[in-house]
Amino acid sequence: MHIKYLNHKKSVVRVMSGVGSRSSCRSLFRKLNILPIAYQYIFSLMLFTVDNQKDYLTNAYVHGLDARNKNHLYLPVVGLSCVQKAVSYSGVKIFNSFPSYIQSYRNDRKRFKKSYTDSLLFILFIQLMNF
């Protein structure tokens, strides 16, 4: 299912750009400001986390300490991989890996979306490969 969608998306981008069917789409996605599939998934996770942040606690609330990660969302220790792969858990994990200036927009969904698409379009891939 995902492969068919990706191939269809690539062919649409190639037609829009007027290039051949064997051309690479990586630069075309950047040129047209279209997020690749992995970025779109991460973006959806972040919006889910921002929209449901009332369901999460912060580290400062849980631990009561004034640490540098006090504004990060609390990530409980769990041993089951099915919980670790859940949307809510992985969303918090990825959200906490973002820089603090992007996390500061978590109460303003519109600014959060703009900061994500503007500033992380090119450097997110490098940061998440180390994740």
What's the pTM value of the predicted model, to 2 decimals? 0.65
Tokens of 53: 């942040």
Q: Which pLDDT score, from 0 to 100, does residue 22 have?
A: 84
**Contact in structure between 25 and 12 (CB atoms under 8 Å):** no
Helix, strand, coil tally for the chain in percent (to 5): 60, 0, 35
Is residue 28 very low, low, confident or very high in pLDDT (cuts 50, 70, 90)?
confident
Tokens of 60: 């400062």
**Contact in structure between 46 and 112 (CB atoms under 8 Å):** yes
CB atoms within 10 A of CB 106: 19
**Contact in structure between 121 and 129 (CB atoms under 8 Å):** no
